[in-house]
A and B are shown apart, each in its own frame.
Chain A
Amino acid sequence: MPTRDEIKPKVIAKIKAISDAEDLVEDEKSKLWNDLGMGPTVKAAMALPYTKITKKYPRGIVVSQAAAAKCETVKDSIDLVFTRAKGER
């Protein structure tokens, strides 16, 4: 079973790959749109990179576009990927 501490750096690395506000990505309270400038289409498009993380775990399930688009903060994204990596919704 994955731990949250194991998932967190993987999710942050994905967000860092697209946001130029690198100083804010490490802060879990940072908002994906307000602070990091991720538009709605890109927030939805994060479903694929998030799923690449979850599918590395035996019980991991997909992250849908709607679930990825609903994330408001870095914390929401980490929690979403952590939950799906455990096979939960």
Chain B
Amino acid sequence: MKSFASFICAFIFLFGQIGADNGPKKKTFELSLSLRQSVFDKNTIEKPALIQFILPSDPTKENSYAIDGGLALLFSFNSPAWQYAATLEYHRQTEISKPQDNFQAGFSVINILGDVTEGFALYSSIAAKYKHDKIVSGEGIFIRFDSTPLLPRIGMGVTRGIKQLQVLWQPTFGIQYETASDVFKTGNSGKVVRVAFTIEIGFYPFSRMLKNSLELILRNSSWINLNRTGEYKKQFDSNQNMFKAGFSYYIDENHHIGIGLDYIKGENPEQGLLNQESTMFSLKIKY
């Protein structure tokens, strides 16, 4: 933990120096809070925190509940290109055969390269976090770098289409490093280096009339494990994949509260979610 804390301090100092605008004008420091499903993957289409009731595909299994939420304290120092965030996340699923109990705390730095109004910008983030997963991996550190191109002309980051149907899509590329102290409670440790690729497509039917309150988001994430050591080599496949389809309807004008149905097939190694197929009805909250 001590070395991880030192790493975080060095990380803040280094990126703080790079991001600072040392011009003579008035310095600014700003703070704000955000609540999302995950605060480490800010590159992706914004997803609200979830409180879910799970209806498993297998009728012999019992219904259960899940919580998927993250809280970020965002701050910046006199720069439009750099933003920093202290983050907390908790992912819990009580389903007996495939439970999830994953806590993450860390620090992330977001950089936006280029002027999006001139046609292209690159939205990148690097995050270092401590994780404690009571089921899959025990304690460990997780470092990730993600990059998302923003090209409004072709619907990357801004909706495009006709009045009856608007579409937005975002591909994200990343690389990740993760350590674990107790993989699947075997008492053995492990390390893994992965590349990650996520593609998301959001559909907004009758968008002018419904003001984008109705959305269908399809998301496919793939993780290719480049290098595995220790128990990671024994317990996990070389590749992992997760497909998600989420249907939401926001009940308030500013899209803070909604209800929705989410279908999941696959596994998410970042959040300790084991291979499964389920459909979830959820209350969605975004601030």
Contact = CB atoms under 8 A, between A and B. Distances in A.
B230 interface: no
A64 B158 contact: no
Interface string B137-175: 000000000001010100001111000001010100000
A48 B168 contact: no
Interface in B1-47: 21, 25-26, 28, 30, 32, 42-43, 45-46
Residue among B25, B78, B79 having the largest count of chain A Cβ atoms under 10 Å = B25
Contacts of B271: none
B274 interface: no
A32 B5 CA distance: 39
Interface in A23-58: 31, 33-42, 44-52, 55
Contact of B116 (A34, A42, A64): A42
Nearest to A19: B158
B116 A66 contact: no
A65 to B, nearest CB: 4
B245 interface: no
B158 A38 contact: yes
B29 to A, nearest CB: 9
B116 A46 contact: yes
B26 A61 contact: yes
B157 A42 contact: yes
Contacts of B79: 62, 64
Interface residues of B, number: 47
Nearest to B112: A45
A45 B25 contact: no
A82 to B, nearest CB: 16
B117 interface: yes
Contacts of B74: 65-66
Nearest to A64: B76
29 contacts: A18-B152, A33-B212, A36-B158, A37-B158, A37-B160, A37-B166, A39-B45, A39-B157, A39-B158, A39-B159, A39-B168, A39-B170, A41-B123, A41-B157, A44-B123, A45-B116, A45-B121, A48-B80, A50-B80, A61-B25, A62-B78, A62-B79, A64-B28, A64-B30, A65-B83, A65-B112, A66-B83, A68-B80, A72-B254
Interface of B: 21, 25-26, 28, 30, 32, 42-43, 45-46, 74-76, 78-81, 83, 110, 112, 114-118, 121, 123, 148, 150, 152, 157-160, 166, 168, 170, 202, 204, 207-208, 211-213, 253-255
Interface of A: 14, 17-20, 31, 33-42, 44-52, 55, 59-68, 70, 72, 87, 89
Q: Nearest 10 pairs between A and B by C-beta?
A: A37-B159, A34-B211, A47-B80, A17-B117, A42-B157, A40-B46, A51-B80, A18-B152, A64-B76, A45-B116
Given A41-B123, A67-B30, 10 more contacts: A17-B117, A17-B118, A37-B158, A38-B158, A39-B157, A40-B45, A46-B117, A60-B25, A65-B80, A89-B30
